[in-house]
Amino acid sequence: MDPVTHPQVRPPADHPTEPPSQPPPSPVLAIVGPTAAGKSDLAVSLARRVDAEIVNADSMQLYRGMDIGTAKLSPHQWGGVPHHLLDVWQPSHPASVVEFQRLARRCCRQVLQRGRLPVLVGGSGLYVRAVIDTLDFPGTDPAVRLRLERELASQGPAALHRRLAGVDPDAAVRILPSNGRRLVRALEVIELTGRRFTAALPAYLDTPAVLQVGLDVPRETLDRRIAERVHRMWDAGLVEEVRGLLAHGLREGRTASRALGYAQVLRHLDGELTEDQAREETIRATRRFARRQDSWFRRDPRVRWMAYDAPDLLDRVVALAAPLRPGDAAPLSRPGPAEGPAGE
């Protein structure tokens, strides 16, 4: 499969790693919330109204060829709006929030230099915070990482999750017991720093000229939207997409092979699940993931929540974006009760 070339995607230039002392870019507007909430469509409509460019913050949309299962917009759905950080990594490439932080911050600054507003879009909470907050990540130790990965392979993720719960209960609540990659990273950070994994995240500090808009979807509605999306993915050829990616390192990719939908289809191709079972498991797993996404973003008091189906949603977001014009953005006030998060 040849790398996808999109004429309106500007890949970041090849520059050295961004110095950790360099502050996050601003102004920036982020559209956040759970999967299937409608973030991508809102972002395109907003960008066309306020002369913005979209920067992807969905960790799985960074992978080339992983289009159907990630609900990646196709170029004809962009409405003429430039999109960035799509199709960056091969499926065999392990995801790195540190690498993403460098690419995304640089990309946002390049958008600002063109006199446009960067609109960060995605449901990967840590990736969003890596761009907008002063967030430096602990290093890694290959020997420690290899040992933990071997333990993961021999003992399974449940054993590592129990260990994490004993040393950092907050991290254990936030990380799925089945997410072996994040469990390994959390235990690695704890071992290397002597601190809790959750201590690596800074407080939710007000940042001038940075705005987060969260899409609020009732749980029953979101569950229905997720099921409909998964059925559309299957009808669009998700199984065939996964088959085609096998020759490009999907199965070997530590991150991509665990992506929702792709992991279940791989199990189907291996004979562990029927196709119907893979589809239903994808729906269940995506619903669980969406709840965790929602919980992550609702912990951030800076997010301004709005009903996903409000008739005036776009107009309200456009009004909030008005003070964020590059070059003359002013600090934003904290959300008031009417726009604050709904109940946990």
Judge if 242 and 126 occupy the same domain. Answer: yes
Last residue of a domain, one of 164, 183, 200: 200
The yes-or-no verdict on residue 329 having pLDDT over 50 is no
Judge if 130 and 254 occupy the same domain. Answer: yes
Identify the sign of the CA torsion 108, 110, 113, 115: negative
Predicted local distance difference test score (pLDDT) of residue 134: 86
Identify the sign of the CA torsion 154, 155, 157, 163: negative
Look at the chain and report how many structural domains it folds into. 2
Judge if 172 and 268 occupy the same domain. Answer: no
Q: Does some domain include residue 189?
A: yes
Predicted local distance difference test score (pLDDT) of residue 139: 75
Q: Does some domain include residue 288?
A: yes
Last residue of a domain, one of 181, 200, 219: 200
Judge if 58 and 170 occupy the same domain. Answer: no
Judge if 167 and 77 occupy the same domain. Answer: no
Q: At what angle do helices 313-321 and 39-50 cross, to 10 degrees?
A: 50
Which bin fits 137, alpha (ψ -120 to 50), beta or left (φ > 0)?
beta
Residue of higher predicted confidence among 9 and 68: 68
CATH number of the domain that residue 51 is part of = 3.40.50.300
Last residue of a domain, one of 183, 200, 217: 200
Judge if 128 and 166 occupy the same domain. Answer: no
Gap between the Cα atoms of 70 and 62, Å rounded: 10
The yes-or-no verdict on residue 328 having pLDDT over 60 is no
Q: How confident is the model at residue 202 (pLDDT cuts 50, 70, 90)?
A: confident
Identify the H or E element spanning 119: strand 117-121
Judge if 159 and 88 occupy the same domain. Answer: no
Strand residues in 267-318 grouped as ranges (E): 303-307
Judge if 256 and 191 occupy the same domain. Answer: no
Judge if 152 and 245 occupy the same domain. Answer: no
What predicted TM-score, i.e. pTM, was given to this entire model? 0.80
Question: Coil, helix or strand for 154?
Answer: helix
Gap between the Cα atoms of 82 and 72, Å rounded: 14
Q: Does some domain include residue 44?
A: yes
Q: How confident is the model at residue 203 (pLDDT cuts 50, 70, 90)?
A: confident
- Beta-bridged to residue 29, according to DSSP, are 119, 211
- Quote the domain boundaries for residue 151: 142-200
Q: How confident is the model at residue 81 (pLDDT cuts 50, 70, 90)?
A: very high
Tokens of 126: 């840590």
Q: Does some domain include residue 180?
A: yes
Judge if 89 and 110 occupy the same domain. Answer: yes
Q: Does some domain include residue 19?
A: no
Residue of higher predicted confidence among 263 and 325: 263
For the ranges 58-62, 194-198, 305-309, which has the lowest average pLDDT?
194-198
Q: Does some domain include residue 95?
A: yes
Q: Does some domain include residue 10?
A: no
- Express each pLDDT in 23-65 by its tens digit: 789 999 999 999 999 999 999 999 999 999 999 999 999 999 9
Q: Does some domain include residue 21?
A: no
Judge if 186 and 112 occupy the same domain. Answer: no
CATH number of the domain that residue 184 is part of = 1.10.20.140
Averaged pLDDT score across all residues of the chain = 87
Burial class of 320 by CB neighbour count within 10 A (0 to 12, 13 to 18, 19+): middle
Predicted local distance difference test score (pLDDT) of residue 200: 65
Judge if 62 and 45 occupy the same domain. Answer: yes
